[in-house]
Amino acid sequence: MTAKEILEEIKPWGTEGYKRMLMANYGVQEPCFGVKIGDLKKIQKRIKKNYQLALDLYDTGNYDAMYLAGLIADDARMTKQDLQRWAEKRLVVGYFAGARVVLNSQPHCRQTLQFEDKPRSGKVAHDQKAYWSVERP
């Protein structure tokens, strides 16, 4: 399965109401279909872990695909460069999905998650620019 095929599959699952809520409450920006997390988890169950597909999904720039990327990322294979690239690309997705990857990746690494305040329209504190660094002991 490719990132393009997944985007085609999830696009009809999006709803305007959920999309508006994500944008208003969490500062999510376009492109976004508004797919509920429960629906994305159905794909996660089917795919399980897939390092390359996660990278490809994140590279689409679509919020829903980027969130799914965090769910299917192979934590053990994520590199410092992968995590930094993810953090630089997107804010809210980085917080929700990327933080899970950082916290679960390579137990022999020390992970730190730093935030830089950046005001936006979202109502919650998650609305910050996230940066990760992974250092080997």
- What is this structure's pTM? 0.73
Q: Which pLDDT tens digit goes with each residue over 104-131?
A: 554 444 444 444 444 444 444 443 444 4
Residues 63/69/71/75 CA torsion (nearest 10 deg): -140
Kindly state the average pLDDT of the residues 20-28: 88
How far CA 132 is from CA of 18, 39, 80, 102, 129, in Å, comes to: 28, 28, 8, 8, 10
